[in-house]
Structure formats: C-alpha cells, structure tokens
Amino acid sequence: MQRLADALDQINHWTGMTVRWFALLMVLLQFTVVLLRYVFGFSSIALNESVLYLHAALFMLGAGYTLLVDGHVRVDIFYAAATDKTKARIDAFGYVVLAIPSMAALLYWTWPSVINSISMMEGAISVGGIPAVWFLKSLIPAFCILLIIQSVACLLRQVVLLRGNVEDQGGAK
C-alpha cells in the first residue's frame, strides 16, 4: 500500500514542481503588461488574459500538490490535540466522505460542459483575447483527477497508520 501511495504522490509532486514556475511567469507577465501600458501606451487583451490563464492553471493544477505537502487550511480546534490514530481516522473520513465524493461529483457534473467546449474549440473570453476557453474548462477535470489521486494516496497512508504498520510509514514528501 505504501508503494502505491508513493507512486500516486509522484504524479502530484511532478505536477507541483512544474506548475510552480507559473507563479514566476505570472509576475513577469504582469510586470510586462504594466510596463507596456504605462510606459509605452500599449495594451493587449490577450496578454492580460494570459495572466488569468496562468493563474487558473497554477491553482487548479497545484491543488493536488498542496494536499501532498499538507498545505491546505485546516480548522483544527480538536484535531491539534488528537492522537495520531484519531487524526488518521478524521483524515480518512474526510477523504472517503468529503474529498473523493465531492471531486467525483464535480468531475461528473462538469464533464459534459468540458467536452462540449473542447469539441467546439470554445473561443476567447473577450474580443481580442486568447481563443482557448476550452483550455480553462479542461482544468476542471484535471483539478478533480489530481485531487482524487492525492486523496487516495493520503487515504492509503492513513489506512497503513490505522493498521499499525508503523514500519511501513514514510513517504515521498
């Protein structure tokens, strides 16, 4: 089980290491947009939208990595003082009852819209913008799949912990 969890972790680790560069690219692009607008008097809707596209891709594709490194916000009033086994039960419950079903439902309900958008190559948000709304919509299933993959990896680790296989603990974090 641990090896499977580690393999699943690698998917989000690789994705996270790739999309983290989008943040730097976003800053550089936004700087370019401001420089072009206020110094040279040039404005481009497509250039402005490229920052939006990078922002969407960074957060949608980086959500699984954030779960991998335990970076999501928690309200841990009771969780902080709980034992490791209790935390494992709470986490397992969260993955099985909340995370995986909600991502599966989101994937199921958005899939027809995404497929429709891709099949018609849905165009720009604004006149003169990037003609790729289909790309933005395709980030939704990618987001769901990456979070499901990471939730399963985390769930497997909680099962290992609950079974008492402490010697199997570890991880590729």
The verdict on residue 39 lying in a domain is yes
**Buried b / exposed e across 142-167, counting CB within 10 Å, b at 16+?**
bbbebbbbbbbbbbbbbebbeeeeee
Confidence of residue 172 (pLDDT cuts 50, 70, 90): very low
User: And the tokens for 148?
Assistant: 């499901």
pLDDT at 171: 44
Q: Which of 72-81, 138-147, 163-172 is most confident? A: 138-147
Instruction: Find the domain containing 67 and state its range.
Output: 1-71+80-165
A 10 A CB-CB count for 102 gives 14
Q: What is the mean predicted confidence (pLDDT) over 120-131?
A: 90
In a domain, 172, yes or no: no
Amino acid 169: pLDDT? 43
Provide φ and ψ at 172, rounded to 5°.
-100, 30
- Start-to-end CA distance of the chain, whole Å, equals 16
pLDDT, tens digit, for every residue of 61-72? 999 999 999 888
% residues pLDDT > 90 (the chain):
80
Tens digit of each residue's pLDDT (9 = 90 or more) over 130-166: 999 999 999 999 999 999 999 999 999 999 999 985 5
Could you tell me if residue 64 is inside a domain?
Answer: yes
The answer to whether residue 170 is domain-embedded is: no
171 part of a folded domain: no
Asked if residue 60 is part of any domain, the answer here is yes
Which range (1-15, 76-90, 102-116, 147-161) has the least confidence? Answer: 76-90
Mean pLDDT of the chain: 92
- The pTM for the full model equals 0.87
Q: Is residue 160 part of a domain?
A: yes
**How many domains does one find in the chain?**
1
Confidence label for 167 from pLDDT (cuts 50, 70 and 90): very low
Tell me the backbone φ, ψ of residue 154, rounded to 5 degrees. Answer: -65, -40
In this prediction, residue 73 carries a pLDDT of: 79
pLDDT of residue 165: 58
How far apart (Å, rounded) are the C-alpha atoms in residues 23 and 99? 26
* 94 found inside a domain: yes
